[in-house]
């Protein structure tokens, strides 16, 4: 008879784990890429370009592939989006460029833009090519705080313009969301670090790891020592469920576990429960649910308070996790965590009580009063993240840094209320999208460059 949670390591063999966490979307070969490229209409006012947050000239790069100029295709992509290789793997293309494709009809299917983008960028990386050169040194120095997609995109663009860039990163590895926050099966073979090496290869960028804003350096110091500052601080706080006993054993933040999994040298050594419940409706919920299933959990259920059309995870992501044996239960919200009798280690999770939900006549979410319970060895919280400005609190400059709804306020150039400080990515928008963070960094770099040359 079970008297506690069934959590253990080694549920799956090393061989099975290697297979399960292999690349989920095998790359196109040359023949398939040429066939797919030939399907593009090369639209003049291409709706796919309008749908791309980084404004990649999609018809142009696909035409280059069709004519055998794969290097040219990669340069077109990377000139607009220096993380085009990563975005080809993780971008929700089914809701962006491919959804907008004119071939996306009931009788046809869209051109696989994401796969073609990966084909081109992978080819360039595999050949060790570096198409970008740094302009002559301008004598200007810029500090970038955060080595995530926004910070690295900003740093690369500034370095190309000839400015010297120093990137401060609190964690032991650079990459931010790409390194710590994306499912391991989406970016195997240490791709995030390969892309980082490519970005740093342009020259003019110094990376300082283990340097946290507010602990090792202050915003005021950076403003004093550099000609401009870019803040790419990401999101640093996982939202709580708001129920009692949330700190009991077995209740975990999904983002923390995903980061641990991404850095693990032996995935089999991670403790996994037999029954898992994930609470949330975004890509993080999908990623943690699928990965715990691949790690050997027998019963994995995502519980979301609204319906499938309300989930921020795309329909494709929802289908993917269900194809891996994960159940999604809609229209329910957590009400109570129920634990096993306390022992010397405290109380451990046993089950979760949920309340059914519905929309009232005004479209507001309300509870119905009816409840049910799910047994769970572990519950993963994936109900969103927030930016908490602890790193800049108490700093002289922070008093003048305007915040809006808990995030750093910026104008269209990503300039903050401090004229020499710019910001982008999740600390500004909270969209949790690599492609949008890259665009923020790119736009900020352009504005910083204009300011430094004025």
Q: What is the CATH number of the domain that holds 344?
A: 3.50.50.60
Counting residues of the chain whose pLDDT is more than 90, the rounded percentage is: 89
State which residues form the domain around 63.
30-126
Which residues is 237 bridged to in the sheet? 386
Q: Token digits for 404?
A: 């809006």
Pick the range with the lowest mean pLDDT from 47-56, 382-391, 409-418.
382-391
Q: What is the dihedral sign for C-alpha 169, 170, 174, 180?
A: negative
In terms of domains, do 217 and 273 share one? no
- pLDDT given for residue 208 in this prediction: 98
Measured CA to CA, the distance from residue 256 to residue 427 in angstroms comes to 18
Q: Find the mean pLDDT for residues 265-291.
A: 96
403-429: per-residue pLDDT in tens?
998 899 999 999 999 999 999 999 998
Count CB atoms within 10 A of the CB of residue 169: 25
Measured CA to CA, the distance from residue 117 to residue 278 in angstroms comes to 32
377 by Cβ neighbours in 10 Å (0-12 / 13-18 / 19+) ranks as buried
Measured CA to CA, the distance from residue 177 to residue 110 in angstroms comes to 28
Residue/partner pairs of 68-77 with CB below 8 Å, 24 or more apart: 70/119, 70/120, 70/123, 70/124, 71/123, 71/124, 71/127, 71/129, 71/131, 73/116, 73/120, 74/120, 74/121, 74/123, 74/124, 74/129, 74/131, 75/124, 75/131, 77/117, 77/120, 77/121
Non-local CB neighbours of 245 within 8 Å, separated by 6+ positions: 337, 339, 347
Residue 303, domain member (yes or no): yes
In the chain, the number of structural domains is 3
4-15: per-residue pLDDT in tens?
899 999 999 989
Measured CA to CA, the distance from residue 9 to residue 200 in angstroms comes to 37
Residue 18, domain member (yes or no): no
In terms of domains, do 119 and 55 share one? yes
Single out the residue in 384, 407, 438 at which a domain terminates: 384
Q: What is the CATH number of the domain that holds 121?
A: 1.10.1060.10
In terms of domains, do 253 and 380 share one? yes
In terms of domains, do 309 and 447 share one? no
Helix/strand/coil for 283: helix
Single out the residue in 354, 384, 414 at which a domain terminates: 384
Q: Token digits for 155?
A: 């740093």
* More confident site: 63 or 24: 63
In terms of domains, do 118 and 188 share one? no
Residue 430 in this model has a pLDDT that exceeds 80: no
Residue 3, domain member (yes or no): no
In terms of domains, do 230 and 274 share one? no
Residue 299 in this model has a pLDDT that exceeds 80: yes
Measured CA to CA, the distance from residue 17 to residue 265 in angstroms comes to 12
Which candidate, 314, 264, 323, 260, places its Cα nearest to that of 285? 314
- pLDDT given for residue 346 in this prediction: 75
Q: Find the mean pLDDT for residues 306-325.
A: 95
CA angle 78/424/400 to nearest 5° reads 150
Residue 310 in this model has a pLDDT that exceeds 50: yes
Measured CA to CA, the distance from residue 184 to residue 204 in angstroms comes to 30
- pLDDT given for residue 344 in this prediction: 63
Residue 203 in this model has a pLDDT that exceeds 80: yes
Residue 222, domain member (yes or no): yes
In terms of domains, do 275 and 168 share one? no
Measured CA to CA, the distance from residue 131 to residue 123 in angstroms comes to 13
Q: Return the DSSP state at 213.
A: B
Our measurement of the distance from residue 32's CA atom to the centroid of its chain's CA atoms, rounded to an integer in Å, reads: 28
Residue 42 in this model has a pLDDT that exceeds 50: yes
- pLDDT given for residue 2 in this prediction: 60
In terms of domains, do 52 and 97 share one? yes
- pLDDT given for residue 101 in this prediction: 98
In terms of domains, do 392 and 256 share one? no
Residue 321 in this model has a pLDDT that exceeds 50: yes
**Gyration radius of the chain's alpha carbons:** 23
Q: Find the mean pLDDT for residues 214-226.
A: 95
DSSP 33-57: HHHHHTT----TT-HHHHH-TT---
Residue 10, domain member (yes or no): no
330-342: per-residue pLDDT in tens?
999 999 999 998 7
Q: Find the mean pLDDT for residues 241-266.
A: 94
In terms of domains, do 265 and 337 share one? yes
Residue 17, domain member (yes or no): no
- pLDDT given for residue 1 in this prediction: 46
Measured CA to CA, the distance from residue 49 to residue 295 in angstroms comes to 38
Which candidate, 122, 384, 69, places its Cα nearest to that of 255? 384
Helix/strand/coil for 397: helix
Residue 314, domain member (yes or no): yes
- pLDDT given for residue 72 in this prediction: 98
CA distances from 392 to 212, 215, 220, 282, 440 (A): 11, 10, 9, 28, 20
Single out the residue in 342, 357, 384 at which a domain terminates: 384
Q: Find the mean pLDDT for residues 298-305.
A: 98
Measured CA to CA, the distance from residue 207 to residue 173 in angstroms comes to 10
DSSP 130-199: ----PPPP-S-EEEEE--SHHHHHHHHHHHHTT-EEEEEESSSSS-THHHHSS-TTTS-TTHHHHHHHHH
Residue 22, domain member (yes or no): no
- pLDDT given for residue 242 in this prediction: 92
Measured CA to CA, the distance from residue 176 to residue 314 in angstroms comes to 22
Residue 375 in this model has a pLDDT that exceeds 90: yes
Count CB atoms within 10 A of the CB of residue 161: 22
What does the CA dihedral 209, 210, 216, 220 come to, rounded to 10 degrees? Answer: 40
153-181: per-residue pLDDT in tens?
999 999 999 999 999 999 999 999 999 99
In terms of domains, do 374 and 391 share one? no
In terms of domains, do 258 and 189 share one? no
Q: Find the mean pLDDT for residues 241-262.
A: 94
Q: In the predicted model, what is the mean pLDDT of the chain? A: 95
Which pLDDT band, with edges at 50, 70 and 90, does 89 fall under? Answer: very high
CA distances from 297 to 114, 261, 307, 448 (A): 31, 15, 25, 49
């Amino acid at each position: 008879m079970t008297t506690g949670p069934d959590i253990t390591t080694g549920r799956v063999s090393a061989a099975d784990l290697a297979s399960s966490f292999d690349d989920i979307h095998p790359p196109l070969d040359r023949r398939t890429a040429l066939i797919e490229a030939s399907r593009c209409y090369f639209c003049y006012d291409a709706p796919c370009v309008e749908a791309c947050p980084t404004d990649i000239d999609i018809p142009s790069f696909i035409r280059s592939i069709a004519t055998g100029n794969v290097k040219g295709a990669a340069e077109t992509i990377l000139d607009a989006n220096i993380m085009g290789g990563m975005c080809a793997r993780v971008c929700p293309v089914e809701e962006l460029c491919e959804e907008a494709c004119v071939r996306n009809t009931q009788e046809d299917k869209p051109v696989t833009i994401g796969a073609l983008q990966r084909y081109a960028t992978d080819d360039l990386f595999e050949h060790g090519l570096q198409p970008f050169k740094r302009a002559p040194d301008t004598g200007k120095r810029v500090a970038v705080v955060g080595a995530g997609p926004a910070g690295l995109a900003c740093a690369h663009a500034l370095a190309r313009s000839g400015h010297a860039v120093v990137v401060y990163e609190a964690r032991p590895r650079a990459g931010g969301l790409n390194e710590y926050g994306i499912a391991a099966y989406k970016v195997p073979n240490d791709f995030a670090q390969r892309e980082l090496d490519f970005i740093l290869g342009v020259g003019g960028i110094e990376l300082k790891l283990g340097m946290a804003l507010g602990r090792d350096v202050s915003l005021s110091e950076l403003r004093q020592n550099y000609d401009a500052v870019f803040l790419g601080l990401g999101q640093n706080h996982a939202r709580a469920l708001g129920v009692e006993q949330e700190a009991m054993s077995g209740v975990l933040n999904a983002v923390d576990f995903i980061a641990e999994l991404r850095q693990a040298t032996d995935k089999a050594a991670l403790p996994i429960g037999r029954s898992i419940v994930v609470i949330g409706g975004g890509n993080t919920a999908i990623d943690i649910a699928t990965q715990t299933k691949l790690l050997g959990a027998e019963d994995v259920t995502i519980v979301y308070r609204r319906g499938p059309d309300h989930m921020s995870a795309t329909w494709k992501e929802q289908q993917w996790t269900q194809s891996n044996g994960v159940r999604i239960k809609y229209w329910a919200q957590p009400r109570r965590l129920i634990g096993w009798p306390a022992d010397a280690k405290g109380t451990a999770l046993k089950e979760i009580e949920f309340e059914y939900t519905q929309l009232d006549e005004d479209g507001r979410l309300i509870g119905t009063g009816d409840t049910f319970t799910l047994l769970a060895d572990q519950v993963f919280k994936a109900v969103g993240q927030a930016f908490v400005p602890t790193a800049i609190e108490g700093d002289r400059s922070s008093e003048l840094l305007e915040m809006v709804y808990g995030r750093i306020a910026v104008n269209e150039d990503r300039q903050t209320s401090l004229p020499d400080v710019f910001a982008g990515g999740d600390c500004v928008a909270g969209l949790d999208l690599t492609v949008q963070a890259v665009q923020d960094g790119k736009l900020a770099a352009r504005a910083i460059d204009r300011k430094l040359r004025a």
